Amino acid sequence: MRRIISILLENEPGALSRVIGLFSQRGYNIETLNVAPTEDLTLSRLTLTTTGDDKTMEQITKQLNKLVDVVKLVDLSEGAHIERDLMLIKVRASGTMRDEIKRTTDIFRGQIVDVGPNTYTIQLTGTGEKLDSFVAAMAEADILEVVRSGVAGISRGEKVLRL
Amino acid sequence: MELLSGGEMIAKALEDEGVEYIFGYPGGAVLHIYDALFKTCKVPHVLVRHEQAATHAADGYARATGKPGVVLVTSGPGATNAITGIATAYMDSIPMVVLSGQVATHLIGEDAFQETDMVGISRPIVKHSFMVRHAEDIPATIKKAFHIATTGRPGPVVIDIPKDCTRPDAKFEYHYPDNVKLRSYAPAQRGHTGQIRKAAKLLLSAKRPVIYAGGGVILGESSELLTTLARTLNYPVTNTLMGLGAYPATDRQFLGMLGMHGFYEANMAMHHSDVILAVGARFDDRVTNTVSRFCPGAKIIHIDIDPTSISKTVAADIPIVGPVQSVLEDLLDIIGSLQDKDAQQPDTGALGRWWQQIEEWRAKHGLWTGRRYGESDRIMPQQVIESLYRVTGGDAYVTSDVGQHQMFAAQYYKFDKPRRWINSGGLGTMGFGLPAAMGVKLAFPDMDVACVTGEGSIQMNIQELSTCKQYSTPIKIINLRNNYLGMVKQWQDMQYEGRYAMSTYEDSLPDFIKLVESYGHVGIQVTRLEELDQRMEEAFAMKDRLVFLDIFIDPMEHVYPMHVAPNGAMKDMWLSKNERT
Ligand SMILES: Cc1cc2nc3c(=O)[nH]c(=O)nc-3n(C[C@H](O)[C@H](O)[C@H](O)COP(=O)(O)OP(=O)(O)OC[C@H]3O[C@@H](n4cnc5c(N)ncnc54)[C@H](O)[C@@H]3O)c2cc1C
Ligand SMILES: Cc1ncc(C[n+]2csc(CCOP(=O)(O)OP(=O)(O)O)c2C)c(N)n1
Ligand SMILES: [Mg+2]
């Protein structure tokens, strides 16, 4: 089963490598990974998605919690949550495809953030699934480059991950 | 407040931490530190002959005393040489602080002379690590390192120190903190009362109970509590290789070690039990045999301070996260009140039948009653350990290397006290025994310290005979000489039709007697059974000499019992070369 794990991590050199190292060392897989500083300069917020059966997931969360640099951890997929992935996608846009791409982008509520004589760069946010279907919808177009941020997530309602 | 350089702060902090010995080896990146130690430090430094030995000596010291071992090595090769010893300590949860030198900050990342990414290389085998960035952080970092190494589930902590942070000309105000605050590190202090109550009820309702106790009981200083609990309930106890000594081996309720080379009665009792109380043990694969066939009828209560140990391989029915000491105290209290108030008692009828069954197993194949060796006129390895046991009155510190000799020592030396049996269980590091014995002897100079080894293992750190000379550590080395990498040979006999691929040395072994004599020690060769006890006594009578007993044993002997694998259960064992359950 797919899980979204969100972590408050000490903003220390080497902290990230401990998290990543844990996954490779113990044979767990990471599908997406997103890390950035938070409003508290001493902490980074890390969101990762992974898959595994319940037993593996239990070990993953326990092992992560055991890392001294992991301050707090939550499995967002256990409750109601919002997840967002950001995609920048550059496509060949010439001839009739130019309009076609524009239409599809509008349907997905994406934005064209850079326009070249023969290319469009489109920005799209949403769940991983939505981004996947956009890429599928672009099958006819000539996709030049795809960049995704990986999932960032947050719980709905009153629930917060903080110190 | 004193003004000290980085190097001096290290020396002072180690003093303030109450460190008794530093095990180490100098080199360029740590020269400022060594100069500071030389000039000011009251903590004695033990100069080993190889950095691996520094870590094992510190480790042996830690296992025997319960205090953290301290290691100091230089950057690059000094640091990488220490890796095996750090991994050894990590696998067995031994508290250790390793200070490694690093190239100066401005050189890091440039492939500078003797640069290696120690924090990176050691990352998977440490409990935590630090890289010092500013000299003024040194005291607090050292305090944190000792705190993390010794609390919760203990383990090794590395502090990597760039050379510029120890410069003698840059001085700082020194203050060693009394305590540490780490917002992201809080090992469990107590078990969950509700869970402990459930455990108490399940225990009292058991008809075929077993207490399976491991290294965590020793690490958590709870042997007495465990013994009280077992005696209160009259339940049988088995120990893991790491747990030997946690329960007195000469006690009637002790079933011996369990697992791959565990006692018949211990493995049979585990397999047929209905309730297992696992305390500070981690269901290692050397214990469980095939996990899906592990103890099919048993409900499992698991007490461990580290949540990752619980339900990692075998699922626990009642998990209890907490230090063994407080959990056992609470458990005893609750059992006491259940017995008083609710008149809940163990089912004595069922328990009587269970003990009767256990006694039958014991009588049939028990190691200490129905011994099967003795068909050969050679010295048998088991007899050597029995002789060692007799001569030392069962009260020695025994370190070991890895192989058949290790298993014989574990099976035949009856450890009645914790911290007396010192071996590498999790990593299985050949070369551990001699330096570990050095560390133990330095901690307890008046005690008998024996290192049970094989001619293969001893050669992995034999250079430490020189260190033993320098620091006068008169340990006794018991070399179970079978002229084979015996444990490898045993597997080749059993699974590869006796094809001894690289498990013999042909004619290349040194004359160990001359070798130890050249280091200034005493060597004694033993080839006949009749002289075994006498030579053993002579060796231990030489209180101030290191004695190497080179004892020629039957090279064909195997370690039994041995779990049948693959697909075997706890109860499936080879009992001799042609007899299995
Ligand atoms: C050649 C060879 C053969 C071997 N054969 C066997 C064999 O037949 N049988 C056998 O048992 N082993 C055998 N081993 C050893 C085996 O590999 C493991 O090292 C051993 O079984 C682990 O012991 P343990 O379960 O007691 O755990 P340890 O490694 O001692 O771990 C201790 C556990 O206790 C916990 N703990 C620590 N402190 C506390 C505390 N204060 N409170 C609560 N919990 C705490 C830790 O979190 C950990 O889970 C063999 C090794 C070798 C090299
Ligand atoms: C450093 C290391 N290398 C290899 C092994 C694999 N190994 C386990 S036991 C053993 C043989 C040990 O031989 P010896 O020390 O003579 O002991 P014996 O089994 O003969 O008693 C080997 C090679 C190991 N445990 N450690
Ligand atoms: Mg041998």
Q: Does B114 participate in catalysis according to the annotation?
A: yes
Question: In sequence order, which residues have a C-beta less than 8 Å from that of residue B253 and are 6 or more positions away?
Answer: B230, B231, B234, B235, B236, B237, B247
Interface of B with A (CB under 8 A): 119-120, 123-124, 127-129, 131, 148, 182-185, 306-308, 311-312, 315
Distances (CA, A) of B313 to A13, A66, B138, B155, B260: 33, 18, 39, 21, 16
Q: Does B375 participate in catalysis according to the annotation?
A: no
pLDDT at A73 over 90: yes
Query: Does the residue B185 lie in any domain?
Result: no
- Clarify whether residues B348 and B410 are in a common domain: no
Task: Kindly provide the residue ranges of all beta strands, DSSP E only, lying in B124-266, ordered along the sequence.
Answer: 128-131, 156-162, 171-173, 209-213, 237-239, 254-257
Query: Does the residue B273 lie in any domain?
Result: yes
What's the domain range around B30?
Answer: 2-174
- Clarify whether residues B258 and B295 are in a common domain: yes
Distances (CA, A) of B191 to B230, B278, B308: 19, 14, 15
Q: Does B356 participate in catalysis according to the annotation?
A: no
What pLDDT sits at residue B43?
Answer: 96
pLDDT at A93 over 80: yes
User: Ligand 1 pocket: which of B225, B260, B291 to mutate (most atoms <8 Å of CB)?
Assistant: B260
User: Dihedrals φ, ψ of B257, to 5°?
Assistant: -70, 155
Query: Does the residue B524 lie in any domain?
Result: yes
- Clarify whether residues B138 and B94 are in a common domain: yes
A110-145: per-residue pLDDT in tens?
999 999 999 999 999 999 999 999 999 999 999 999
User: Dihedrals φ, ψ of B304, to 5°?
Assistant: -155, 145
Report ipTM for this prediction.
0.94
* From B460, B487, B536, B570, active-site residue: B487
CB B455 within 8 A of CB B481: yes
Tell me the count of A-B CB pairs closer than 8 A: 36
Question: Nearest ligand to the C-alpha of residue B452?
Answer: 2
Query: Does the residue B574 lie in any domain?
Result: no
Q: Give residue B100 CA to ligand 3 midpoint distance, Å.
A: 34
Q: Give residue B487 CA to ligand 3 midpoint distance, Å.
A: 8
- Clarify whether residues B354 and B393 are in a common domain: no
Question: In sequence order, which residues have a C-beta less than 8 Å from that of residue B327 and are 6 or more positions away?
Answer: B190, B191, B196, B303, B320
CB A151 within 8 A of CB A84: yes
Domain boundaries, chain A: 2-79, 82-152
Query: Does the residue B578 lie in any domain?
Result: no
Residues B474-507 as b/e (b if ≥16 CB within 10 A, e otherwise) read bbbbbbbbbbbbbbbbbebbeeeeeeeeebeeee
Has domain A2-79 been given CATH number 3.40.190.10? Answer: no
DSSP string, B401-447: -SSHHHHHHHHHS---STT-EE---SS--TT-HHHHHHHHHHH-TTS
CB B546 within 8 A of CB B478: no
**Can you tell me the distance from the alpha carbon of B263 to that of B59, in angstroms, rounded to the nearest whole number?**
28
**Can you tell me the distance from the alpha carbon of B520 to that of B514, in angstroms, rounded to the nearest whole number?**
10
- Clarify whether residues B274 and B336 are in a common domain: yes
> Shortest CB distance from B184 goes to which of A17, A21, A68?
A68
Report domain A82-152's class.
alpha beta
Please tell me the total count of domains within chain B.
3
Residue whose C-alpha is closest to residue A127's, from A105, A159, A152, A103: A152
Evaluate whether A2-79 and A82-152 have a shared fold. yes
Other beta carbons less than 10 A from residue B73's beta carbon = 30
* From B113, B173, B359, B537, active-site residue: B113
CATH code for the domain of B87 = 3.40.50.970
What tokens were used for B317? 């029915």
Using a 6 Å CB cutoff, which residues line ligand 1? B 92-93, 153, 214-216, 219-220, 240-243, 257-262, 280-282, 284, 286-287, 304-306, 309, 323-324, 402, 406, 425-426, 428, 487
What 3 state SS string does B82-103 have? HHHHHHHHHHCCCCEEEEEEEC
- Clarify whether residues B169 and B198 are in a common domain: no
Q: Does B542 participate in catalysis according to the annotation?
A: no
**Can you tell me the distance from the alpha carbon of B316 to that of B320, in angstroms, rounded to the nearest whole number?**
9
Domain boundary among B311, B337, B365: B365
Question: In sequence order, which residues have a C-beta less than 8 Å from that of residue B231 and are 6 or more positions away?
Answer: B253
- Clarify whether residues B259 and B170 are in a common domain: no
CB B4 within 8 A of CB B171: yes
What tokens were used for A13? 């050199």
**pLDDT tens, N- to C-terminus, chain B (581 residues):** 789 999 999 999 999 999 999 999 999 999 999 999 999 889 999 999 999 999 999 999 999 999 999 999 999 999 999 999 999 999 999 999 999 999 999 999 999 999 999 999 999 999 999 999 999 999 999 999 999 999 999 999 999 999 999 999 999 999 999 999 899 999 999 999 999 999 999 999 999 999 999 999 999 999 999 999 999 999 999 999 999 999 999 999 999 999 999 999 999 999 999 999 999 999 999 999 999 999 999 999 999 999 999 999 999 999 999 999 999 999 999 999 998 887 788 889 999 999 999 999 999 887 765 455 556 678 999 999 999 999 999 999 999 999 999 999 999 999 999 999 999 999 999 999 999 999 999 999 999 999 999 999 999 999 999 999 999 999 999 999 999 999 999 999 999 999 999 999 989 999 999 999 999 999 999 999 999 999 999 999 999 999 999 999 999 999 999 999 999 999 999 998 888 99
DSSP state of B19: -
Q: Does B163 participate in catalysis according to the annotation?
A: yes
What pLDDT sits at residue B131?
Answer: 97
CATH code for the domain of B291 = 3.40.50.1220
Q: Give residue B417 CA to ligand 1 midpoint distance, Å.
A: 17
Q: How far is B123 from chain A (nearest CA, A)?
A: 7
A143-162: per-residue pLDDT in tens?
999 999 999 999 999 999 99
Query: Does the residue B370 lie in any domain?
Result: no
User: Strand, coil or helix: what is B309?
Assistant: helix
Query: Does the residue B158 lie in any domain?
Result: yes
What pLDDT sits at residue B374?
Answer: 57
Set of chain B residues whose Cβ sits within 8 Å of the Cβ of A68: 127-128, 148, 182, 184-185
> Half-sphere exposure of residue A160, counting CA atoms within 13 Å on the CB side?
3
- Which residue of chain B has the CA closest to A13? B131
Query: Does the residue B165 lie in any domain?
Result: yes
- Clarify whether residues B51 and B134 are in a common domain: yes
